[in-house]
């Protein structure tokens, strides 16, 4: 009987993954070697070193690097801090505040509405991408920077590039489900640097079009391997590294780090740039209630924060903002050890929750983000500082 139950479970699991290739991409057996045996416990064997930076003295904002840890609330950062031995790069940001994330029509938001408020300073309905609550298009800060300031622009994420958060900054739509339609909009979005996943919606489309070739014809350098990012040349960059979302952090390598630093290199110019960077899969693994996977995604994101802060410190005219679109998982830190770098947690939900999320800021204008804000206010403050 036990063998029969096991076989039924195995066949059910195979059927589930066959229907959800993106889930298959995110779940690699390699993690069995990294102490992922229990979903509510995690121990870091070797912590990574964190940076030390000083707040620049200048007050003029030339560049904006807006960083979103999808689904990353106070407890995700707290769990990561303990698991890395009591140190994170986020600790170096001198200003902290809070953001309330509710949508206009729902208390518990999603990445579409939550990201849109951060991107353009307007609250909107659940599921809306770059649209106001009445369905009207609203210009994002990234788009404003390009149109008004002549800034170069970019997005670097670990999800498919046509997913909610990158789309919130670059394109528009009433639903995230129109994935082919959202990908198509990037042809006319005029974004200089694009990095993430989702080739399925670019060159395996139902309309037969190959958007990658069309983007190359528009002058974009196309990259699909980690090793090719650093040496990519040209003024415009398109990096797509997986059919759906990128692989989990320990499998994909430092794609977010390499693409972020390449974006800074390519976008830096006299008129400035606006770059949005997202640690997308922190949210995914909080949804799945798997703390080990979640921690590794958070560490990947925090390492990028450290590199960005070091660059911004030297530049002196770059505003760095780190926040979240919402909180995910109802996570609680139950016990652990800073010295032993281990945690035990509890997830109360597999969905989003309505708890305030932190806002961290560094660079000129950072002091404006202290205190308690509505999420749309974060976008409004960024716009004001860009003027």
258-278: average pLDDT: 98
pLDDT of residue 6: 37
Summarised one tens digit per residue, pLDDT across range 48-82 is: 999 999 999 988 999 999 999 999 999 999 999 99
pLDDT of residue 21: 35
Contacts of 218 (CB under 8 A, 6+ apart): 187, 236
Is the per-residue pLDDT at 317 higher than 50?
yes
pTM confidence score: 0.91
Could you give the percent of the chain with pLDDT greater than 90? 90
15-43: average pLDDT: 51
Mean pLDDT of the chain: 92
Q: How confident is the model at residue 36 (pLDDT cuts 50, 70, 90)?
A: low
Whether 121 contacts 379, CB under 8 Å: yes
Give dist(CA 226, CA 250) in Å, integer: 13
SS3 220: strand
Which tokens is 373 given? 């804000």
pLDDT of residue 30: 39
pLDDT of residue 20: 39
Domains of the chain: 34-386 (3.40.720.10)
- The neighbour count for residue 303, using CB atoms within 10 Å, is 22
Q: Which residue has 């800034």 as its token pair?
A: 151
């Amino acid at each position: 009987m036990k063998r029969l139950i096991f076989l039924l479970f195995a066949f059910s699991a195979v059927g589930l993954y066959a229907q959800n290739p993106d889930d298959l991409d995110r779940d690699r057996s390699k993690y069995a070697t990294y102490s992922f045996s229990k979903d509510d416990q995690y121990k870091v064997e070797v912590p990574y070193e964190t940076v030390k930076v000083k707040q620049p003295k200048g007050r003029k904002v030339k560049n904006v690097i807006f960083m979103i840890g999808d689904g990353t609330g106070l407890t995700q950062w707290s769990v990561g801090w303990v698991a890395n031995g009591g140190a994170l790069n986020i600790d170096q940001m001198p200003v902290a505040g809070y953001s309330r994330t509710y949508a206009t029509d729902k208390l518990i938001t999603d990445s579409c509405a939550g990201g849109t408020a951060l991107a353009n300073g307007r609250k909107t309905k659940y599921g809306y991408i770059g649209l106001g609550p009445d369905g009207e298009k609203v210009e994002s800060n990234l788009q404003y920077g390009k149109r008004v300031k002549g800034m170069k622009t970019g997005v670097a994420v670990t999800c498919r590039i046509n997913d909610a958060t990158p789309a919130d900054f670059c394109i528009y739509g009433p639903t995230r489900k129109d994935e082919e339609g959202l990908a198509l909009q990037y042809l006319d979005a005029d974004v200089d640097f694009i990095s993430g996943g989702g080739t399925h919606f670019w060159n395996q489309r139902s309309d037969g079009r190959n958007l990658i070739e069309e983007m190359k014809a528009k002058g974009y350098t196309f990259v699909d391997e980690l090793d090719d990012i650093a040496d990519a040349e040209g003024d415009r960059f398109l990096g797509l590294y997986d059919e759906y979302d990128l692989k989990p952090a320990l499998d994909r390598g430092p794609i977010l780090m390499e693409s972020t630093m390449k974006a800074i290199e390519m976008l830096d110019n006299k008129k400035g740039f606006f770059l949005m960077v997202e640690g997308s899969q922190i949210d995914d693994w909080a949804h799945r209630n798997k703390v080990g996977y979640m921690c590794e995604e958070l560490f990947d994101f925090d390492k990028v924060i450290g590199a960005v802060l070091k660059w911004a410190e030297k530049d002196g005219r770059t505003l760095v903002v780190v926040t979240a679109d919402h909180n995910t998982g109802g996570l609680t830190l139950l016990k652990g050890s800073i010295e032993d770098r281990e945690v035990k947690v509890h997830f109360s939900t597999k969905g989003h929750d309505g708890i305030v999320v932190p806002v961290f800021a560094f660079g000129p204008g950072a002091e404006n983000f202290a205190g308690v804000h509505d999420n749309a206010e974060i976008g409004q403050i960024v716009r004001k500082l860009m003027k």
